[in-house]
Amino acid sequence: MGEKTVIILHSGDMDKVYSALIIANGALAMGMEASIYFTFWGLMRLKKGELEKGPLSKMNMLGLGRQMIKQRMNKANVASLERLMNDFKELGGKIIACEMTMEIMGLSKEELRTEWIDEWGAVGSYIQEARDANVTLFI
């Protein structure tokens, strides 16, 4: 079995979603397997039309900080979250959506970008992924 990176994405903050996708894409580019377990506020970013809508984790300033960071990212030609997600899937990345979070938050599968989701699971799904991973992260 090859090397593997497994990330729990608990946060829905824009910068943290960026971090998860950049690290996961980096792992895939280095020949590793990579999976992201979306749970709680991270799962909210898988709702249709919501990937790019998370707040900034620090200095959000009612959205002004987020807007300033987005402008700087655009100027630096940083890929959008949509692009990073599509790259992640094209490179073979795996997404697990937390079913317990769906139940708690009142989400249905129809509300989510099901074309990105490889598995619907709970903590056992994450543990199964992480048990033989070389890198595990909680973001």
Which of 108, 81, 101 is CA-nearest to residue 24? 81
- Distance separating alpha carbons of residues 119 and 122, to the nearest angstrom: 10
Give dist(CA 74, CA 30) in Å, integer.
26
Higher pLDDT: 31 or 73? It is 31
pLDDT grade for 63, boundaries at 50, 70 and 90: confident
Q: What is the pTM of this model?
A: 0.92
Q: What's the residue count for the chain?
A: 139
pLDDT digits 0-9 by tens, 71-129: 888 899 999 999 999 999 999 999 999 999 999 999 999 999 999 999 999 999 999 99
CA–CA distance, 101 with 41 (Å, rounded to integer): 9
- The tally of CA atoms less than 13 A away on the side-chain side of residue 90 is 7
Domain boundaries, the chain: 4-138
Could you tell me what percent of the chain has a pLDDT over 90?
82
Smallest CA-to-CA distance from 9 within 56, 58, 43 is with 43
- Asked if pLDDT for residue 19 goes beyond 70, the answer is yes
**Whether residue 1 has pLDDT greater than 70:** no
4-138 maps to which CATH number? 3.40.1260.10
Which pLDDT does position 70 carry in this prediction? 83
Mean pLDDT of all residues in 10-14:
96
